[in-house]
Structure formats: C-alpha cells, structure tokens
Amino acid sequence: MKNTQYLAREPDDSGFIHYPESEHQVWNTLITRQLDVIQNRACQEYLDGIEQLGLPLERIPQLGEINRVLEATTGWRVARVPALIPFQTFFELLASKQFPVATFIRTPEELDYLQEPDIFHEIFGHCPMLTNPWFAEFTHTYGKLGLQATKEQRVYLARLYWLTIEFGLLDTPAGRRIYGGGILSSPKETLYALSNDPEHQPFDPLEAMRTPYRIDILQPVYFVLPELKRLFELAQEDIMALVQHAMQLGLHAPKFPPKAA
C-alpha cells in the first residue's frame, strides 16, 4: 500500500470529531460547487439520497448524522477508518454493511483531485446511493464475495467495483446520468463522463472485469447500466463464475498510455 500525507481525525470521548474552520471551508467549497455541477447529470436515485441525507453546506457532517439516515433506509452505516485501508478490511466492512469513511478532508491545494478517498468523496460521492436498496444490496454482495476471493480474483472484482460503484453511468428516461461516486465527487469528471470524449459501452460485468483502469486519469471508457435495478439483479447472479471466466479470457488492451516512469 502506498503512503499518504493525510491523517484521519480522531473523535473525542463523546464520538464527536472536531475539524478546524479551514477544513469546514474546504467542505463548503467542494459541496456548493459540486451540487451545482451535478444538476441534470446525477441520476434521480442519487439526488433522492442527497435530499434524505440533508448534508450541511457550512460544515463537515458527523458520521452519526449519516448513520441515522443510512440505518433508516437500507440498514447500512459508515465506519471511521484511516486514510488508506487494506483490501481485507474493506471487504470485511462492506460484508457487514459498513461503508469506510476516512475522517480527513483534502487540502485546498488538492481541491480538484487526490488519489486517497477523503470524507468528501466518501460521503458526497457514495453515501447518497447507499440509501437505495438496489445499490446497497449490490455493495453488500460485493463485500461478501471479496472476503471469500483469492488475491487474483480480487483484482478482477476490483475492476467491477471501479466501473460500477466508482465510475458507473446509467440510462434513464431523462437521458444518460451518473451514479458512480468517483465521478459525482469530481467536477471535471462529472462534465467529462457525459461528454462525447470517452467511450460509452453497454454494461457487461464480464467486459468490465476485463477492462484495465488507472486511478490517476479521467477514465477512457465508462459502462452504462440500462437501469439501476441491473445492479440488484447482478447481485443475484454467480459473480464468481464471471470472475473465473474473465480470468480465462484475460484482460483487454488498455485504452490509455502507460504511466510515465
């Protein structure tokens, strides 16, 4: 695992996390900007989740506030974690309906992009969708499968996660919309993902597992669900059989240049 410059903030004895005013200001900048950008771009299920969460604009929310809404809607919770966690911990949390949230926020210098998932990415990007039963069920199933998977199988599962939960698109009667948290927490990628620049492919879990990705660039290809319920249906399928099939077929050639040394 790579190192990080960020340190998650610890709660006090009553479970309250104190953030300096400068960090609340970063949250305010991020959320007010992004709420504007996602209009007519985020899927309705995400917007419904944003409304239910009632995220404050002027301060970083406390995890307990998020938990009250998630528990009431889908039985999920968020769990406080350090900046980076091992795959094993990640799968253990998802398998127990807990979504990891690192309790730090990016610096003003990294406002537009950082590789580590911070509290804005996790809460604004992912938690609204976790109020949706279909999305929540898929995420729970994914965690349980990851716990049982081998190291090599986990790499294929990771690609499925990346191209759905992080960077998934969705066709709706109102047009193409975003549900992936990695897109919805990034102003640049929110605009780019729905443009004509990247490739859009109909969602196929086998193809997604065979598609290489890089975490430090705008995605060259996105997979588009016909409807959000497709994720719930996928959770009922034999995903590990698909993983085995993907491993036999091997990876597609990457649609991006190799990383500079």
pLDDT score recorded for residue 260: 74
* Mean pLDDT, residues 75-98: 95
Q: Say if residue 102's pLDDT is above 80.
A: yes
Residue 92 labeled ligand binder: no
**104 occurs within a structural domain:** yes
Residue 207 labeled ligand binder: no
**4 occurs within a structural domain:** no
Full domain range(s) for residue 90:
21-249
- H helices of the chain, in order, are 21-37, 44-53, 63-73, 87-95, 119-120, 133-148, 151-161, 181-184, 187-193, 205-209, 229-236, 239-249
Domain of 198, CATH number, reads 1.10.800.10
Q: Report the candidate in 10, 127, 125 with the shortest Cα–Cα distance to residue 72.
A: 127
**5 occurs within a structural domain:** no
Q: Say if residue 14's pLDDT is above 50.
A: yes
For residue range 162-195, list pLDDT tens digits in order: 999 999 999 999 999 999 999 999 999 999 999 9
What is the reported pTM? 0.96
Mean pLDDT score of the chain = 96
- The pair of three-digit structure tokens given for residue 214, joined into one six-digit string: 């890089």
Number of H-type helices and E-type strands within the chain? 12, 6
Beta bridge partners of 170: 177, 225
pLDDT score recorded for residue 1: 46
**221 occurs within a structural domain:** yes
Count of structural domains within the chain = 1
**96 occurs within a structural domain:** yes
Residue 24 labeled ligand binder: no
pLDDT score recorded for residue 2: 55
**49 occurs within a structural domain:** yes
Contacts of 225 (CB under 8 A, 6+ apart): 164, 168, 169, 170, 171, 179, 203, 231
**15 occurs within a structural domain:** no
* Mean pLDDT, residues 129-133: 98
For residue range 206-258, list pLDDT tens digits in order: 999 999 999 999 999 999 999 999 999 999 999 999 999 999 999 999 999 88
